[in-house]
Amino acid sequence: MGTRTADMMRFWRTHASRLITLFLLLPALAGFFGLFFYPMLLTVILSFRPEGQAIGWTLENYTRFLADPDGRWVILLTFILSLGGTALSVLLSVPLALILREKVRGHRFYRLMVLVPLVVPGLIGALGLLLFWGTRGWFNLFLLQFVPFVQRPVAVNYTMHGLIMFYVWLYFPYTCITTLSSLESLDRSIEEAGEVSGATRWQVLRHIVLPLITPGILAGSVLTFMAAFGAFSVPLIAGGNYRPLAVEIYKQISVPIPARWSAASAIAIVMGVLQVIFLSLYMRFVRRAGGTGGPS
Partner 1 sequence: MTDVTIEFRDVSKRYGTLVANDHLSLAIRKGELMTLLGPSGCGKTTALRCLTGYIRPDEGRIFIDGQDVTDVPTHQRELGMVFQNFALFPHMTVQDNVGFPLMIRNLSKAERAQRVAQALRLVRLEGYESHYPRQLSGGQQQRVGLARALVYRPKVLLLDEPLSNLDAKLREEMRFEIKEVVTRLEITAVYVTHDQAEALALSDRVAIMNRGRLEQVGTPEEIYEHPQSRFVAEFIGLSNFLEGYVQAVDGDTMVVSVGGLQMRIPVLAEAGPGQRVLLFLRPNEVELLRPDDPGGANVFDARVEKVTYLGDTLDYRLTFGQGLTLRVQSDAQRRFGQGAPVRLRFPRVRCWAITGN
Q: Residue 74 CB: number of other CB atoms within 10 A?
A: 23
Q: Which is nearer to partner 1, 51 or 191 (CB)?
A: 191
Angle CA 286–235–97, to nearest 5? 40
The minimum distance between CB 179 and partner 1, in angstroms, equals 16
Taking residues 157 to 186 in sequence order and writing x for each that binds partner 1 by CB under 8 A, - otherwise, the string is: ------------------------------
Q: Which is nearer to partner 1, 101 or 251 (CB)?
A: 101
The minimum distance between CB 195 and partner 1, in angstroms, equals 4
- Rounded to whole angstroms, the Cα distance separating 100 from 158 reads 32
Q: Which is nearer to partner 1, 68 or 195 (CB)?
A: 195
**What residue type is assigned to position 132 of the chain?**
F
The minimum distance between CB 185 and partner 1, in angstroms, equals 11
Q: Which is nearer to partner 1, 199 or 274 (CB)?
A: 199
The minimum distance between CB 110 and partner 1, in angstroms, equals 21
Q: Under rule CB under 8 A, which residues in 181-200 are in contact with partner 1?
A: 187, 189-190, 192-200
> In the chain, count of helices (H) and strands (E)?
14, 0
Q: Which is nearer to partner 1, 127 or 199 (CB)?
A: 199
**Among 157, 122, 128, which Cα is nearest to 231's?**
122
Q: Which is nearer to partner 1, 53 or 296 (CB)?
A: 296
DSSP letters of 202-235? Answer: HHHIIIIIHHHHHHHHHHHHHHHHHHHHT--HHH
Residue 207 makes contact with partner 1 by CB under 8 A: yes
- Rounded to whole angstroms, the Cα distance separating 266 from 249 reads 9
C-alpha neighbours within 13 Å on the C-beta side of residue 19: 6
Please give the radius of gyration of the chain, using alpha carbons only, rounded to the nearest integer: 26
Q: Under rule CB under 8 A, which residues in 215-254 are in contact with partner 1?
A: none
Q: Which is nearer to partner 1, 95 or 293 (CB)?
A: 293
Q: Which is nearer to partner 1, 72 or 201 (CB)?
A: 201
The minimum distance between CB 87 and partner 1, in angstroms, equals 23
- Rounded to whole angstroms, the Cα distance separating 50 from 61 reads 8
The minimum distance between CB 204 and partner 1, in angstroms, equals 9
Q: Under rule CB under 8 A, which residues in 133-162 are in contact with partner 1?
A: none
Binding-site size, partner 1 (CB under 8 A): 22
Residue 295 makes contact with partner 1 by CB under 8 A: yes
The minimum distance between CB 210 and partner 1, in angstroms, equals 10
Binds partner 1 (CB under 8 A): choice among 130, 212, 267, 270: 212
The binding site for partner 1 (CB under 8 A) comprises: 187, 189-190, 192-200, 203, 207-208, 211-212, 292-296
